[in-house]
Structure formats: C-alpha cells, structure tokens
Amino acid sequence: MALNMVGRCYDLGWGVAIDKARAADCYRIAAERGLDWAMYNYATLLALGHGVAEDKAAALAWFEKAAKLGSSVIAAKATNFVGSFHEDGWVVARNLTKAARLYERAAEGGDFRGMFNHARMLGAKGRGEEALRWIERAGERATPAFVAKAAAFLDTSPVPAFRARGRVAIERGAARC
C-alpha cells in the first residue's frame, strides 16, 4: 500500500512534481505484488496512456483482476471501468447488454461513476424515474468536479427526463454530502 501511495503522490502531484511514468512504475510493482488499488491505478494509466504507452488490453486485464480480487470499493470501481470497455468496444466487441450489467453491479457496489453510468443506460431504455434516483445517489458520493461535469451532460442529454430534472437530481444528491 505504501508503494501505491507513493505512486499517487507522483500521479497527482502531492508534495512532488507530477511524474506519471514514476507513478506507473510504483503502481505496477504494487499491482504485481497483489494490491487491488494498485491494479486499478495502474490499469487507469494504461487505459489512458498516461506515463506509459496506452495498452487497453493490458488495462482491461488489470481492471478485471482488481474487480475479482478487490475489496468491495475497488471491485465496484474496476467493474465500472470494465463496463466502459464493453460500452465503447475497447479491446472487446461492443456489448451494451454486458456494459449495462457491469454498470449495475458497480452502482450496487457503491461506485458513483457506476451509478451514473447505470442511470445513463436506464434512461436510454426509457426508465427515467429509476435513472433519476441513481443520478441522485451518484451525486451523494461524487466529487464536485464530477457533479459539475455530470450536470452539464444531463442538461444536453437526449433523454427528456435527464434534461428536465437531471441537474436537480445530481445537485440535490451532492447537497446531502
């Protein structure tokens, strides 16, 4: 865990200059030693190509491992990311049904991004009221930056319920924090 946290320092610039390559090295070593958080952090850098060459196949493998081995918190976060691979067709065939199942699992596990992604999928299926409840729950756990980004997305969503009440739902959830 200590090596993972050193990686976080380099990744986010906590007390040191940001150095994504050094962060990736720390995460990789801790991930190879079995730490679920490091698996997730390393996979994120691989998926985005930050500090390492982008390698979505390797990222998916690390996310899947973290989802299986991780604590409930990290398992939910990793499951959400695996869902995005299936939604976007990265490395795997695009499969919206599987993505929806993974997002639902991530949402039920408490990941705010998973809650929001689950809500997006519900809204696309015409289940707006249920989706709005998940959006509100996402707001309760999300960072302020995510709430702002989500609110802007909801304002322009093709889902009528999201345009009409999505911003209110996520901001109401955020106000409860």
pLDDT digits (tens, 9 = 90+) for 111-154: 999 999 999 999 999 999 999 999 999 999 999 999 999 999 99
pLDDT at 71: 81
pLDDT above 90: residue 70? no
CA-to-CA distance for 16 and 44, rounded, in angstroms?
A: 20
Torsion of CA 130, 134, 136, 141, to 10 degrees: 170
pLDDT digits (tens, 9 = 90+) for 81-122: 999 999 999 999 999 999 999 999 999 999 999 999 999 999
Portion of the chain with pLDDT greater than 90, in percent: 94
Closest CA to 112 of 75, 141, 79, 153: 141
pLDDT at 177: 62
Is the Cβ–Cβ distance between 134 and 119 less than 8 Å? yes
pLDDT above 70: residue 53? yes
pLDDT at 57: 98
Average pLDDT over residues 54-80: 95
